[in-house]
Structure 1
Amino acid sequence: MDVGLFLICGFTAAYDSLFSSLLLRLQTNIEILSEAIRTVRERTLEKFNVPEDCIVFQDENGSSLECELYNEIKKCNLHLLFLLRICEELEEMFTFTTLLAMLTGTIAIASNLFIVSKMSVADPEFLSLAEYIIALLIQFSMMCYYGSRVTEACFSFRGSLYECEWYKCSKRFKTCILIMMMRMDKPIYLTAAKFFPLKLSTIISVLKGSYSYAAMYRTVG
């Protein structure tokens, strides 16, 4: 029994750490891309030793500066597609196990709250059950926190598109910006099998659900 419990604990810790670290990496990449887009014109002008008040309006000019600006924003566009695909693959890989963890955790918290409500604080098992409830809440908090960080990074990315001085650039540069704006038009949420998004408010929903089940157990009992 101890061996089985040890294996389950190790698997759960490994799963949560892997999922959280992948979400953190995704969020970091989105933030790096946001900064790259925000400073794309500044970096290109610095590369060509051009004054910052330079304005490029026409693609037909065919200048090396305009071509470099377009190539840079095109690279950012392709990298955005890559990150969005990674986001979809992450949800596809972890969505059902996350849902299962949320459902079983909610029932476990409710059951433990029901048992704890009938115990004395001086009972030796009271502290063990309380620690288990806290551990489950920490597990949920990790998934929801890092999921919400990805969503916040996506909102920040949309803001960076407006801050890249696109109005001073060529038409095809602006077209790339518009394409990225349309791709990020809808908020990006990682979900648990599409039932609920991984964001901080979900933790409150889990607590409310657990308390409701615990109250029902107490009423039936």
Structure 2
Amino acid sequence: MKHTFDLSSTFQLDKFHLTLGGFYPLEKVKYKYLYYSARVFIHLISWSHLLGMLTFSLVQVSNLAQLADTLTWNMTQIPYLCKLVNFHIQMNTVLKLEAWLRRPSFTWITAEEETAIKSTMRGARILTTIYRSLCVTIVSLFAIFPLIDKNSGEGKKLPLPMWFPFDVQNHYHAVWSYEVFGICISAWANTNLDSLSVMLITLTVCQFRMLTKRLRNVGKGTEDVVRDEVVQKELKECIILYNDITRLVELMETTFSNGIFVQFICGVFVICMTGFRMMVVNLKSIQFFHLLAFFFGQICQILMYCWYGQTLMESSDSISEACYFSDWFKCSNQTQKYFLIIMERSKRPVIMMAGKFFFLHLDTLMAILKSSYSYFAVLQQIYSDK
């Protein structure tokens, strides 16, 4: 027995957090002043952090160690802001995407299909929770490390290398609080954008798996007298669902692909530089554990996109096999042609792209890690020679 299931409930947590920040588009805004004020406030904090670090890079351009340190944090802030701005630009597309998820082909499902969707989404939520926890650890270490670092002879350190038009040591606690607060805001918004993307990709995977199961079971349990009529009706529903899923992927790609592209490009540099800095610091220092957590956080961020992108590709690739394992041989020639059309259409798997350049699958993850290691090996060789 089929019933209506609200798919937006699977990413309600991410939607709620982004709404608090004034970024998730709403058809009706109840508290407009608070909604838009939160958005402007987060933009001001985030952009002022990037501007401060870029200015510091220019001031310290002759100091290679400081420059490398600053560029690492710049390459972390830039993709976050690109994702934030891109999400803001694509607000209308997000509304279209959510409206598309309310189509009957998606929401009119059986109790068994609902259970399968909730189970798959629960697995994705566990991974995003691990990612959030890792980000909390990184932010905590960002805040703690400057307070307990006793090795600096230049006064107290700050969480981030930033330029200020005054003597930082005279206003250390105020500056420290400003930087830590900005890091918390950036990490909070960034993890919610990543989590929303992953949850939507996983939701698409659920729809492909549901379609695969329907195709395998199409026409089963019906009498031979009415088989063709029933099978053709079920096939038409499957075709509508397949077309709706491909349109959903197009909307998701429009919404998130540009931000993911910048994330991948900057991720190569950040992973490389973080690994290099881990090599030159004391293994027993808290800075090493700070860099180690940051290193795994960057890999986990890219891994989530590539892993679920790979799952999406594999789930869409199983459509043709599902048609083959159905009872197509019991149908008329006309109905068999419908199966053949679906199989031909599904020969091209559905793959999400990042900025029309990178496919979201595990091969891209390996390419990023290989590129990062290549640059790391060059830096290591230069460092060893010196």
TM range (shorter): 0.7 to 0.9
Which residue of 1 is the match for residue 268 of structure 2? 106
Structure 2: distance between partners of 1:119 and 1:156: 48
Structure 1: distance between partners of 2:344 and 2:321: 13
Structure 1: distance between partners of 2:334 and 2:252: 32
The letter of the residue matching 1:123 is: S
Which residue of 2 is the match for residue 147 of structure 1? 309
Q: Render the CA deviation track for 1:151-203: whole Å, top value 9, x for unaligned.
A: 11112222001111112112332222122112112122212123222112322
Q: Does 1:135 find its partner at 2:297?
A: yes
Structure 1: distance between partners of 2:300 and 2:252: 21
Q: Does 1:165 find its partner at 2:343?
A: no
Which ranges of 4 or more aligned residues in structure 1 deviate by more than 4 Å? none
Residues 38 and 161 of structure 1 are in contact (CA less than 8 Å); yes or no, is this contact kept in structure 2? yes
Q: 2:284 aligns with which of 122, 143, 146?
A: 122
Q: 1:37 aligns with which of 199, 215, 234?
A: 215
User: How many angstroms does 1:145 deviate by?
Assistant: 0.8
Q: Which runs of 5+ in 2 are unaligned?
A: 1-178
- Cα RMSD of the aligned pairs, angstroms, is 1.6
Which residue of 2 is the match for residue 84 of structure 1? 246
Structure 2: distance between partners of 1:217 and 1:37: 53
Which residue of 1 is the match for residue 133 of structure 2? none
Structure 2: distance between partners of 1:188 and 1:211: 30
Residues 41 and 165 of structure 1 are in contact (CA less than 8 Å); yes or no, is this contact kept in structure 2? yes
> Percent identity, aligned pairs only?
25
Structure 1: distance between partners of 2:234 and 2:334: 12
Structure 2: distance between partners of 1:214 and 1:66: 62
The letter of the residue matching 2:192 is: A
The letter of the residue matching 2:184 is: F
Which residue of 2 is the match for residue 3 of structure 1? 181
Q: Render the CA deviation track for 1:87-122: whole Å, top value 9, x for unaligned.
A: 122122111111111111211111111111111202
Structure 1: distance between partners of 2:213 and 2:306: 25
Which residue of 1 is the match for residue 142 of structure 2? none
Which residue of 1 is the match for residue 351 of structure 2? 189
The letter of the residue matching 1:213 is: Y
Structure 2: distance between partners of 1:40 and 1:144: 32
What is the SS of the residue equivalent to 1:173?
Answer: helix
Structure 2: distance between partners of 1:187 and 1:126: 42
Aligned length: 205
Higher RCO (CA < 8 A, seq sep 6+): 1
User: How many angstroms does 1:211 deviate by?
Assistant: 1.4
The letter of the residue matching 2:239 is: N
The letter of the residue matching 2:209 is: E
Residues 253 and 353 of structure 2 are in contact (CA less than 8 Å); yes or no, is this contact kept in structure 1? yes
Structure 1: distance between partners of 2:226 and 2:317: 32
The letter of the residue matching 2:253 is: E
User: How many angstroms does 1:212 deviate by?
Assistant: 1.4
What is the SS of the residue equivalent to 1:139?
Answer: helix
Which residue of 2 is the match for residue 12 of structure 1? 190
User: How many angstroms does 1:64 deviate by?
Assistant: 4.4
The letter of the residue matching 1:104 is: C
Which residue of 2 is the match for residue 59 of structure 1? none
Residues 95 and 191 of structure 1 are in contact (CA less than 8 Å); yes or no, is this contact kept in structure 2? yes
Q: Which runs of 5+ in 1 are unaligned?
A: 55-62
Structure 2: distance between partners of 1:187 and 1:33: 14
Structure 1: distance between partners of 2:237 and 2:334: 14
Residues 77 and 176 of structure 1 are in contact (CA less than 8 Å); yes or no, is this contact kept in structure 2? no
Residues 70 and 172 of structure 1 are in contact (CA less than 8 Å); yes or no, is this contact kept in structure 2? no
Structure 2: distance between partners of 1:65 and 1:127: 64
* TM-score computed with the length of structure 2 as normaliser: 0.51
What is the SS of the residue equivalent to 1:186?
Answer: coil
Structure 1: distance between partners of 2:250 and 2:341: 19
